[in-house]
Amino acid sequence: MSAPVKRPLWLTLCLVVVFLAGLLVRLYDLTDPPADFHPARQYHSATLARGLYAEWGGVVEGLDAGRAMVLGNSEPRIEPPIMEHLAALTYLLAGRELLWIPRLYAILFWLLGGLALAALARRAAGDWGVLIASLFYLLLPYGVSASRAFQPDPLMTALLVAGLWLLVRWWEKPTWRRALWAGLAVGAAVLAKQSVVFIAAGAFLGSVLAARGLKGALRDRQVWLMAALMAAPVLAYNFYGLTAGNLGEQYTMRFFPQLWLDPGFYLRWTRMIDGTVGILPFLLALVGLALLPRGGLRAGLLGWFAGYLVYGFVFAHHIGTHDYYQLPLIPLVALGLAAAGNALVERLLTVDARRLARLVLAGTLLAGSALALYQSYQVLKDGDYRAEPAAWRALGAAVDGDSAAVTGIFDDYGAKSIYYAGVLPTVFPSAAEVAADEAAAADFAAYFAARTEGKRFFVVADDAQAALQPWLIDHLQSTYPLILEDAVYAVYQLAP
């Protein structure tokens, strides 16, 4: 595989337009609160960042700085809070806490990952492949929503793509400098979110085995340097977290190997792939992987795919329930599609009606892009959460900011209540937990009284749970006064 030839002007222009479109669609509705995509995860990061900001002397609006620090410190540390530190630092520079700043960072990282992706696509799938990969990576509607979220995943995915690009560059010309950069980038990806270690390891193993073979790789000091750079940061973080922090707790309730024998696990996983990247693009991407020329990129991507499968089996629960666990699939599918698309384009440009073929090709890509942009725009436009902060602050005032007095059902584990109201509620058992509890079946009123002992307020802020627990809603409505109601919640007073 040799370094690619000069990029044609039409491709450069198209890429500029695609990157601009990808940027602009992500900037739409920038200042809407981050409740559009996994609010529990985004507000977790927002609370952490605000805590850091307060700790560094920032002025928090509407909340005591000490309270902001306490709430920030009470958030579990799952991975190193890189995005949160960046956000808090920028809050300091801006002089106030602005929730769209971390959104800007996520977008920026995703776009930078797009540049690395385009560089990878050029190596194996030609000019049209670059365009197809970039279109998919930047305009996929699910990707648009996910890549502007305040969570580590956009950064992690971008670093993974950059890592693979640097690995392929090392494969092309194995210098110490290239090994150093590749190791650092892949190590940073794993540090950003360590669950991705399987994918990173797969891409790394694929690339080095393609370059050196097993024996050669074991003897190559550059390979050892990369491995050390990949492993050292995350090992250090884990050592610190397990000895000085509470990282051990975070590893519980994550591994469910018993699910491997459940057919539903595979169907949920497939449904999740379907709902994020789509089954047909996924299948086409696999065909594309098979069509890639042998070499570092193909080996790296096959390793990535193998790592993704291992990752899915290890996080058997999350892979079928948390759509953002599919984020590393987007660049993989983009590159596979690039190869499959390139094969189709090559064939299209050889048919007898070449002008028609070009027209169909351009029209198809243009129509697909326009549709994808329109869908993303609609999703962002339809979700309007601007009234939520005031509503949650009103709840905070109604309960006197007393966390110990509040329980309820929340669609985000109480994350918005924590962030806006400064109230850390106790979450009432879910419908499944209630159904599994014999005491609840025997006497729900007694069960409810025991579960809410000492609480003064019950917040209903989860329509899905409310629908699943009609007995709970009946009990609340028939027994307690409704003291506050809003589009996002209802508050019942359990005791004066």
Partner 1 sequence: MMNRIRSFVSKWLLWLLVGLTLAAGFAVRLVDLQDPPLDFHPTRQLRTLIIARAAWLEMDPAADPATRELAASLASLESYEPPILETLIAVIYRILGEEVFWVGRVLNSLFWTVGGLFLFLLGRRLSGNGWAALVGLVFFMTLSFGVIASRSLQPEPWLVMWLVLFAWALDRWGERPTWRRAVMVGVLGGIAVLVKVVAAFFVASALVGVALATLGWRRAWRSAQVWVVAGLAILPVALYYLLAQGQRSSEFLSFWVVSLSGLLLETNFYADWLAMVKSLTGLTVCLVGLAGTALAAPRGRGLLAGLWLGYLLYGLVFPYQYRTHEYYHLPLLAVLGLSLIPAAAALVERLRLQPLVWRVGLGVVIAFAAFYSLYAARSTLLAADYANEPASWRRVGEALPAGSRFVALTADYGARLRYYGWRAPAATWHTGGDLELARQAGAADYDFDAAFAQLTDGMDYFLVTALGEFDAQPDLKAALSENHPLLVEGNGFLIYDLRTWR
Contact between 290 and partner 1 by CB under 8 A: the answer reads: yes
Among candidates 141, 143, 142, which has minimal Cα distance to 161? 143
Q: Which of 213, 216, 363, 481 binds partner 1 (CB under 8 A)?
A: 363
Contact between 232 and partner 1 by CB under 8 A: the answer reads: no
Would you say 246 or 378 has its CB closer to partner 1?
378
- Chain positions 198 to 227 lying near partner 1, rule: CB under 8 A, are none
- Chain positions 322 to 361 lying near partner 1, rule: CB under 8 A, are 340, 343-344, 347-348, 351-353, 356-357, 360-361
Extract the tokens encoding 340. Answer: 């499959």
User: Are 380 and 28 in contact, with CB atoms under 8 Å apart?
Assistant: yes
- Chain positions 400 to 459 lying near partner 1, rule: CB under 8 A, are none
Would you say 4 or 368 has its CB closer to partner 1?
368
Contact between 467 and partner 1 by CB under 8 A: the answer reads: no
* Stretch binding partner 1 (CB under 8 A), from 209-217, 268-276, 409-417, 451-459: 268-276
Q: Tell me, what amino acid is at 424?
A: L
User: How many beta carbons lie within 10 A of that of residue 361, not counting itself?
Assistant: 16
Would you say 39 or 281 has its CB closer to partner 1?
281
Would you say 56 or 374 has its CB closer to partner 1?
374
Contact between 362 and partner 1 by CB under 8 A: the answer reads: no
Among candidates 293, 488, 290, 299, which has minimal Cα distance to 408? 488
Smallest separation (angstroms) from partner 1 to the CB of 354: 10
CA distance 485 to 141: 34
Contact between 133 and partner 1 by CB under 8 A: the answer reads: no
Q: Which of 74, 246, 364, 477 binds partner 1 (CB under 8 A)?
A: 364
Using only C-alpha atoms, the chain has a radius of gyration, in whole angstroms, of: 25
Crossing angle of the two packed helices 176-192 and 153-172, in degrees rounded to 10: 160
Among candidates 273, 290, 278, which has minimal Cα distance to 342? 290
Q: Which of 4, 245, 278, 401 binds partner 1 (CB under 8 A)?
A: 278
Would you say 352 or 438 has its CB closer to partner 1?
352
Smallest separation (angstroms) from partner 1 to the CB of 316: 17
Smallest separation (angstroms) from partner 1 to the CB of 289: 9
- At a CB cut-off of 8 Å and minimum separation 6, what does 484 contact? 394, 395, 398, 490, 491
Can you give 165-208 as a three-state secondary structure string?
HHHHHHHHCCCHHHHHHHHHHHHHHHHHCHHHHHHHHHHHHHHH
- Chain positions 238 to 267 lying near partner 1, rule: CB under 8 A, are 266-267
Token pair 């918005």 is found at 416
Smallest separation (angstroms) from partner 1 to the CB of 421: 35
Smallest separation (angstroms) from partner 1 to the CB of 254: 26
- Chain positions 148 to 177 lying near partner 1, rule: CB under 8 A, are none
Among candidates 234, 151, 174, 200, which has minimal Cα distance to 331? 200
Smallest separation (angstroms) from partner 1 to the CB of 424: 38
Extract the tokens encoding 424. Answer: 């850390």
Smallest separation (angstroms) from partner 1 to the CB of 287: 5
CA distance 91 to 68: 14
The count of C-alpha atoms lying within 13 angstroms of the C-alpha of 412, restricted to the half-sphere facing its C-beta, is 24
* Stretch binding partner 1 (CB under 8 A), from 178-186, 284-292, 443-451, 486-494: 284-292
Smallest separation (angstroms) from partner 1 to the CB of 295: 15
Smallest separation (angstroms) from partner 1 to the CB of 279: 5
Would you say 61 or 352 has its CB closer to partner 1?
352
* Burial (Cβ within 10 Å: 0-12, 13-18, ≥19) of residue 433: exposed
* Stretch binding partner 1 (CB under 8 A), from 152-160, 179-187, 237-245, 287-295: 287-295
Contact between 279 and partner 1 by CB under 8 A: the answer reads: yes
Contact between 367 and partner 1 by CB under 8 A: the answer reads: yes
Would you say 232 or 280 has its CB closer to partner 1?
280
Residue numbers at the binding site for partner 1 (CB under 8 A) = 266-267, 270-271, 274, 278-281, 283-284, 286-287, 290-291, 340, 343-344, 347-348, 351-353, 356-357, 360-361, 363-365, 367-368, 371, 374-375
